[in-house]
Amino acid sequence: MKIINPATEEVITELQETTKVELREILESLHKGQVVWAKRSVEERLERIIRFGELIQVNVNELAEILTSETGKPLQQSLNEIKGAQNRIEHLRQNAEKWLAPETIVDSGSTREKIVYEPLGVIANISAWNFPYNVGYNVFLYALVAGNSVLYKPSEFASLTGKQFEKYLRQAGISENVFQCVVGDGSLGQQILKSDLDGYFFTGSHATGLHIATTVAHKLVPVQLELGGKDPLYVMDDVTDVKQAAINAAEGAFYNNGQSCCAVERIYVSEKIHDEFVDALVAEVKSYKIGDPMNLETFVGPLTRKQQLQVLKNQVADAKSKGADLSSGGKEIEGIGYYFQPTVLINCTHEMEVMKAESFGPIIGIQKVSSDEEALQLMADTEYGLTAAIFSNDEKRALNLLKELNVGTVYWNCCDRVSPNVPWSGRNNSGLGSTLSAQGIRAFVQPKSYHLRP
Ligand code: NAD
């Protein structure tokens, strides 16, 4: 499998894809290893994860360069991701023992009752490329601490990074029959669906997630899906610092080139501040440094996947044909690399793809609204349910709307944010189940109930 640098379009290296026979052997070894791994205490398992985190810290510069070279993520953002994802390890350090410990529910009377949390077994982690540290850690670190073995399939666009995870987990004392990183694209993923696994944990697009859930349904094993979004932001008329609101909104939309599951994908702005907000947002977007992602000053690099350029071009053409105006960008950047101009479309409506379908790129649609009711109705008009945000000076007014929305996460005066302390979950086409928080620890165990009569 050729690994392409999206900034230079050069082949960085070629990796040998995992074959069917290798996959079968790996799974046999993971099943054997899991039995031994599960017998270790949570503390012992956690020690290795903490060591892994230390190794990642020490090697952060090299790892960031690898991430940038295969995904085009600007180097500063690669460094941020690698350092930022350490908060998952800290969360596990503080919480894993508590949430994985047996619980005595009834300790008196004729029958004692307790719950023991047992690992699922060998789980598959089929993952995405856009934040490989964040979304990988959310699954495989939590699964390992809970006593599972992990078959990790990184995206074909982040395989070098996936191989680094394996290298440092190994150095941290996690053996090859407890964690294995396999290399391949969707066809290898398909083989994994046919294989003998005790749970499927997926991060990626709605289409693939739905395919996975339906394909493995007959196995009756846990399936968890972290999928895409079309996340709205509503900027209310009472915002006092409109310029700062626009800067924050732009960051939510354009960080990582808009390739975040919880990126701001559509903005509704009160008509009272609309023009001021748009002017400030466009000025901010025009100030972004675009170019070589290896340069620490770059904020917008190339897209990771070439095919996404066409999706963005289609969204721009569709929006323009239906009456939107282009305030900035709108075109692929000529030359080498998969670059697209940071794009702002105004006067958008829900007739347009840019307000309905996940863009996953440096493009934002803005629509003017005249009331909270109109904004709420538009925010709710989506098949996705990942996050929703409101910028306002009035917490009560914002929460009154946010509580009405069928999404897994809501933000007041912030956006595009994930924390290990609270669950990360999507509703409707954004997914099923939760990672992170206590729920994210318990996602990797199954309860066994004990009824004991001495
Ligand atoms: P994708 O669905 O194209 O691929 C994801 C993974 O599925 C890859 O490893 C791929 O090889 C594998 N795959 C493809 N076909 C398969 C098949 N038939 N069987 C099994 N596996 C198969 O998604 P992507 O482009 O890697 O990721 C982008 C998407 O992920 C976006 O929609 C984004 O919003 C979403 N995402 C969601 C979250 C979240 O936490 N909710 C986080 C990051 C990304």
User: Does the beta carbon of 431 sit less than 6 angstroms from any atom of ligand 1?
Assistant: yes
Residue at token pair 């023009």: 275
pLDDT in tens, 348-399: 999 999 999 999 999 999 999 999 999 999 999 999 999 999 999 999 999 9
Query: Is 262 a residue of the active site?
Result: no
Atom in ligand 1 nearest the alpha carbon of residue 386: 41
Regarding the beta carbon of 248 and ligand 1, being less than 6 Å apart is answered: no
**Beta bridge partners of residue 267, listed in sequence order:** 233, 366
CB atoms within 10 A of CB 416: 23
Query: For residue 32, what pLDDT is reported?
Result: 98
Rounded to an integer, what distance in angstroms lies between the CA atom of residue 241 and that of residue 252?
17
Using a 6 Å cutoff on CB, does residue 191 contact ligand 1? no
Token representation of residue 133:
């540290």
Q: What is the pTM of this model?
A: 0.97
pLDDT at 122: 98
The pLDDT of residue 402: 98
Q: How far is the CA of 86 from the centre of ligand 1 (A)?
A: 23
**Ligand 1 nearest atom to the CA of residue 228, by list position:** 34
Expressed in angstroms and rounded, the spacing between residue 286 Cα and the centre of ligand 1 is 30
Are the CB atoms for 150 and 123 separated by under 8 Å? yes
Q: What is the DSSP string of 90-130?
A: HHHHHHHHHHHS-EEEE-SSS-EEEEEEEE-SEEEEE--SS
- The catalytic position among 70, 226, 265, 284 is 226
**Domains in the chain and their CATH numbers?**
2-227+427-452 (3.40.605.10), 231-419 (3.40.309.10)
Q: Where are the beta strands (DSSP E) in 347-399?
A: 363-369, 387-391
Residue spans of the chain under pLDDT 70: none
| Cα 17–Cα 22–Cα 26 angle in degrees, nearest 5 | 115
Please tell me the predicted confidence (pLDDT) of residue 367.
98
Asked about 348 being catalytic, the answer comes back as: no
